[in-house]
Each structure stands twice: as structure tokens, then as C-alpha cells.
Amino acid sequence: MPATNDLLFPTEVGTPFRVGNYLKRVLKPIGRGAGIPDMTFQALRRTFATHFQRYGSPKDAQTQLRHSKLEMTGWYMKQIPESVSAAVKKMDADICSVHEPNKPVPQSDDPIQ
């Protein structure tokens, strides 16, 4: 059972990561692998806040982000229009869907490909 003071992201020797080292050694390589060349803690916080609004209230997001003022949380939360959300979901399904081997991949009706 973990102790209450165990670190969530310890170094290989069990000490805490320095923020700059964690960013350089862990987050930046993950970001580059995902096609996000400039991954930052700020980008992760903004992404979290924007997507969290589908699951909880702004007050809940404020608590998770540990903001003392709700107005600060509002700066982090951005509205995603439904049309944009639907387009991204459709594109994700088209690009990331798993197709059976030897079965043709469905083609778009769009003449420009």
C-alpha cells in the first residue's frame, strides 16, 4: 500500500522531478510523439479545463485546477462549438477506425481527396 507522501511521478531513484526536467524529459517527448511539438503544462491545463466542462460545473473545474477565483478558471475553459466537435469526431472515426484485413476502406463522397 502506498504511503500518503508517495510521489505520483518520482524519478528513477524515488526523488521528485524538477518541473523543468519533467517537462524536458517526459512531456516534450510525449508531445512530439503525438504531433504536438510544444507541449507545455499550460496546454495540458487548458485542454483539461476545456474538456472537463462536459463532465462537471465550472466550480468543479476550479477545484480541480486549484484556482482561488472562478474568473481564472473561465480563462482556461474554452467553448467548443457542437459543429466543430461533430466534425472532429467524424474525422477521428474515419482516420482511426479499425478495418478488417482484405476489406476495402470506405471512401469519402468528397471528390477532392
State the chain's mean pLDDT as an integer: 81
pLDDT value of residue 52: 92
Q: Are 50 and 77 in contact (CB under 8 A)?
A: yes
d(CA 113, CA 106): 13
Residue 102 within a domain: no
Residues 6+ apart with CB under 8 A from 54: none
pTM of model > 0.75: no
- Residue 109 pLDDT exceeds 70: no
Specify the higher pLDDT residue, 103 or 27. 27
Residue 18 within a domain: no
pLDDT value of residue 10: 74
pLDDT band at 31 (very low <50, low <70, confident <90, very high): very high
- Counting the structural domains of the chain, the total is 1
- Residue 45 pLDDT exceeds 70: yes
Residue 77 within a domain: yes
For residue 84, the enclosing domain spans 40-96
